Amino acid sequence: MVIVPIFPLPEVTFFPHTLLPLHVFEARYRLLVIDALERDRRLAVVKLRPGYEATYAGKPAVHAVAGLGEIVSCERLATGRYNILLRGESRVRLEQELPSDTLYRLMRARRLADAEAAGDVAPALARIRTACRALLGALARPADLLDTALAEGQAPGVIADRVAAAVLPDADLRQSLLETFDVAGRVARVADAVEALVKELKGGRE
């Protein structure tokens, strides 16, 4: 179990093994950054649940599964705001909110591990690679743009996470993938989603 400050955001999903740049401007989250830098540099980014607007200044509802990461780069601006870069470490389940005298929220969280793939994920990984090449072609983007995400030698779950973070626009789908701990299932769902995105793009041009 770990105790982490949380950074709730409406449309952001923070996957392990990815980098997430954030511009921090609210006073409570500027304090979060300051305190995190003095501790272990870790925080959890969590997606806000629908309807958060009514209680945003307080303690709006958040999803139970979040991304835990480390601040690996931090720039303090003249305005007092921060540009930070987070490196994703693991999924966590937020299990209990703790009493705190800080403006930001603290949670007791449990790190979550992937469930090992029971079957052969190679066909689904091949589908992801093929669909990503087609996607880059459809968008007229450089063919090597996703080379890091798709590199051989990575765990299948890591490839799925990196591709989901890089190319899938639907925030609810990304959150659902963050909550998919079965690697085979997650890889297959990412393959389906990228293929659907390619089909949608090509259909719009026909």
Rounded Cα gap, residues 57 and 102, in angstroms: 14
With a cut of 90, say whether residue 206 has pLDDT above it: no
CA 47 to chain centre: 9
For residues 53 and 23, the answer to whether their CB atoms sit within 8 Å is no
By percentage, how much of the chain surpasses pLDDT 90?
Answer: 87
Question: Strands 82-98 and 65-76: what pairing?
Answer: antiparallel
With b meaning 16 or more CB within 10 Å and e meaning fewer, what string describes 35-61? ebeeeebbbbbbbbeeebeeeeeeebe
Q: What would the pLDDT profile of 5-24 be if each residue is shown by its tens digit?
A: 999 999 999 999 999 999 99
Please give the class, per CATH, of domain 2-112.
mainly beta
Confidence of residue 91 (pLDDT cuts 50, 70, 90): very high
Q: Which residues, including other chains, have CB under 8 Å from residue 131's CB and lie 6 or more apart?
A: 191, 194, 195, 197, 198
d(CA 156, CA 145): 19
204 pLDDT exceeds 60? no
- Give me the chain's average pLDDT, please: 94
Closest by CA position to 184, among listed 138, 133, 126, 118:
118
Q: What is the pLDDT of residue 21?
A: 97
DSSP 55-86: GTTS---B-SEEEEEEEEEEEE-TTS-EEEEE
Weakest mean pLDDT among 55-59, 154-158, 160-164, 168-172:
55-59
pLDDT at 4: 97
Phi, psi of 197 (to 5 degrees): -65, -40
Q: Count other C-beta atoms under 10 Å from residue 15's C-beta.
A: 25
Q: What is the pLDDT of residue 15?
A: 98
Q: What is the pTM of this model?
A: 0.92
Q: Please list the residue range(s) of the chain that carry CATH number 2.30.130.40.
A: 2-112
* 35-45 pLDDT per residue, tens: 999 999 999 99
Question: pLDDT tens across 174-187, in order?
Answer: 999 999 999 999 99
CB atoms < 10 A from the CB of 75, how many?
10
> Which runs of consecutive H residues, i.e. helices, occur in the chain?
27-38, 122-138, 147-150, 156-167, 171-178, 183-204
pLDDT digits (tens, 9 = 90+) for 46-65: 999 988 776 776 789 999 99
DSSP string over 103-116 = SSEEEEEEEE-PBP
pLDDT computed for residue 59 by the predictor? 87
Q: Which of 125, 195, 197, 137 is nearest to 161 (CA)?
A: 125
Instruction: Indicate the pLDDT class of residue 159, thresholds 50, 70 and 90.
Output: very high
Q: What mean pLDDT is predicted for residues 153-157? A: 94
Model confidence at 117: pLDDT above 90: no
